[in-house]
């Protein structure tokens, strides 16, 4: 019996986690390629684009909150075999996502320099370059929000391969047009950061339209009529907000905190901003396997809880904790040993390169803490709708520890960036203690769709 359970566990895990991890890897690799290409221009371009991308980072986390929260419901409805409710969840997600992205797009298109100035008030070169990039990239946000909604809910219904394949195509398009438009290849003008922005808009538009097309072509679970997707009762909307509201708030609170870190980095100068612009995409690339595992955990546990198989959900959660801990320790050692090699891949000033090496060393030491927090919050607690506890843990970690540490170390003590970064990451240690306490309480083991409205 044990062998059968184990075999089934890994079969489902790989079918969900591998496509998500590959998709995340390719997306993170694209960000790294963007930085790599732009790094050949100048430090102001790197810093300006990095700050402009913080705006997308905020939107990205709002969309992640909306759709990962929706995925909680969708995964439990999938376990219950209630496909009509899954389509209603998609409809609400699209309304919230497109609405939020429209607001951000208007700001990015019409007042980009004002937004960039907020992060780097004394860096006119970064403001100019970041403003050029942000004004164009803002046109991609609505398409990105639609892609998010379909991708997340497809994963909840065990259809993770389609978004992965389409994202691969989008990345190829983005990279090609980056090469052509940034550097002026094949007779095109050399547009610098504006070329990078145009390439991203083209790729994101392609990704969105092709994904929706194939959802309907293959008649997948999300391929409902507009009347099925957007016709939901007030009671159903309240049920959605009850499950998703704290997740959205969680991501907004956390993203504002992370933006606060960027606020501090921007005031520490152009060199620090450029250093973190290189360090952070490397971090994201390091986490792609765990992103797949955490999302697979949420889907698998949600399916089991929706089907009232609570003991099996607890058993699966233990397996995920063991697996993620082992892999994170290995990754920590790899990053630690390869930090100098990674930094040397970038054509940047020696002081920026030195900062990147030091920050990667700090990052490597905290990897197990960050990854386990991600698994417990995103994969375990949210799978059973324990979203308020997740919110409180993140709220205390970022605003009670991380932000005060950043301000104290970066602006008051004026320490080097690696020491400020190490102080910020203390929050991960404290959060892990709180996460483990909540995990062992088993208060997350709940079926939240058993009596849901229609």
Q: What is the mean pLDDT of residues 118-147?
A: 87
Q: What is the mean pLDDT of residues 219-232?
A: 89
Percent over 90 (pLDDT), the chain: 49
Q: What is the mean pLDDT of residues 387-412?
A: 93
Would you say how long the chain is, in residues?
454
Residue 284 confidence (pLDDT) above 70: yes
Select the highest-mean-pLDDT range: 39-48, 249-258, 382-391: 382-391
Burial grade of 165 (CB within 10 A; 0-12, 13-18, 19 or more): middle
Q: What is the mean pLDDT of residues 56-74?
A: 83
Q: What is the mean pLDDT of residues 47-68?
A: 80
Top pLDDT among 132 and 58 is at 132
CA distance 45 to 136: 15
pLDDT digits (tens, 9 = 90+) for 413-438: 999 999 999 999 999 999 999 999 99
Average predicted confidence (pLDDT) for the chain? 88
CA distance 82 to 244: 18
Say which residue the tokens 């790729």 belong to: 203
pLDDT for 452: 67
DSSP 3-state of 376: helix
CA distances from 12 to 6, 7, 225, 306, 393 (A): 10, 9, 29, 16, 29
The answer to whether 244 touches 69, Cβ cutoff 8 Å, is yes
pLDDT digits (tens, 9 = 90+) for 329-383: 999 999 999 999 988 888 778 898 999 999 999 999 999 999 999 999 989 999 9
Select the highest-mean-pLDDT range: 62-76, 142-156, 278-292: 142-156
Q: How many CB atoms lie within 10 A of CB 394?
A: 23
The number of angstroms, rounded, from the C-alpha of 224 to the middle of its chain's C-alpha atoms is 27
Task: Tell me the two tokens of residue 52.
Answer: 């402009």
Top pLDDT among 250 and 145 is at 145
Residue 149 confidence (pLDDT) above 80: yes
pLDDT for 282: 84
Q: How many CB atoms lie within 10 A of CB 107?
A: 14
Question: Which of the four pLDDT bands, split at 50, 70 and 90, describes residue 297?
Answer: very high
CA distance 198 to 412: 39
The answer to whether 380 touches 444, Cβ cutoff 8 Å, is yes
pLDDT for 3: 47
Question: Which of the four pLDDT bands, split at 50, 70 and 90, describes residue 201?
Answer: very high
Say which residue the tokens 């991708």 belong to: 151
Task: Tell me the two tokens of residue 318.
Answer: 């233990």
The number of angstroms, rounded, from the C-alpha of 93 to the middle of its chain's C-alpha atoms is 16
Residue 111 confidence (pLDDT) above 70: yes
In 3D space, the residue among 196, 243, 283, 162 whose CA is nearest the CA of residue 444 turns out to be: 243
In 3D space, the residue among 386, 222, 242 whose CA is nearest the CA of residue 305 turns out to be: 386
Residue 454 confidence (pLDDT) above 70: no
């Amino acid at each position: 019996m044990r062998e059968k359970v184990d075999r089934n566990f890994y079969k489902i895990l790989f079918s969900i986690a591998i496509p998500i991890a590959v998709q995340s890897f390719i997306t993170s690799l694209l960000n790294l390629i963007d930085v790599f290409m732009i790094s050949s221009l100048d430090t102001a371009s790197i810093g300006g684009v990095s700050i402009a991308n913080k705006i997308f980072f905020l939107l990205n986390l709002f969309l992640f909150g909306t759709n990962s929260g929706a995925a909680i419901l969708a995964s439990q409805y999938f376990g219950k075999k209630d496909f009509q409710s899954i389509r209603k969840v998609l409809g609400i997600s699209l309304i919230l996502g497109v609405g939020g992205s429209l607001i951000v797009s208007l700001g990015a298109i019409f007042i980009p320099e004002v937004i960039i100035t907020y992060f780097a008030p004394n860096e006119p070169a970064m403001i100019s370059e970041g403003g050029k990039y942000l004004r164009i990239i803002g046109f991609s946000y609505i398409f990105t929000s639609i892609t998010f909604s379909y991708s997340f809910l497809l994963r909840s219904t065990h259809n993770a391969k389609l978004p992965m394949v389409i994202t691969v195509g989008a990345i190829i398009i983005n990279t090609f047009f980056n090469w052509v438009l940034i550097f002026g290849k094949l007779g095109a003008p050399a547009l610098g950061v504006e070329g990078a922005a145009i390439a991203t808009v083209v790729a994101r538009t392609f990704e969105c339209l092709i994904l929706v097309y194939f959802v309907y072509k293959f008649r997948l679970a999300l391929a409902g009529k507009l009347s099925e997707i957007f016709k939901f009762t007030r009671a159903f909307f309240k049920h959605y907000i009850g499950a998703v509201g704290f997740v959205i708030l969680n991501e907004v609170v956390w993203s504002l905190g992370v933006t606060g870190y960027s606020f501090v980095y921007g005031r520490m100068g152009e060199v620090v901003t450029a250093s973190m612009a290189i360090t952070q995409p490397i971090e994201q690339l390091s986490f792609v396997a765990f992103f797949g595992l955490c999302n697979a955990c949420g889907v698998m546990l949600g399916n089991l809880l929706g089907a009232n198989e609570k003991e099996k959900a607890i058993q699966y959660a233990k397996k995920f904790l063991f697996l993620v801990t082992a892999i994170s320790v290995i990754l920590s050692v790899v990053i630690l040993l390869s930090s100098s090699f990674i930094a040397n891949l970038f054509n940047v000033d020696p002081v920026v390169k030195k900062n990147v090496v030091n920050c990667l060393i700090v990052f490597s030491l905290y990897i197990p803490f960050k990854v386990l927090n991600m698994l417990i919050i995103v994969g375990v607690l949210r799978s059973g709708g324990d979203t308020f506890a997740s919110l409180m843990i993140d709220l205390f970690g970022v605003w009670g520890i991380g932000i005060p540490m950043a301000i104290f170390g970066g602006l008051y003590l004026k320490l080097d960036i690696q020491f400020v970064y190490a102080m910020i990451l203390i929050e991960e240690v404290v959060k892990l203690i709180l996460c483990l306490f909540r995990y062992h309480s088993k208060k997350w083991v709940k079926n939240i769709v058993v009596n849901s409205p229609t």
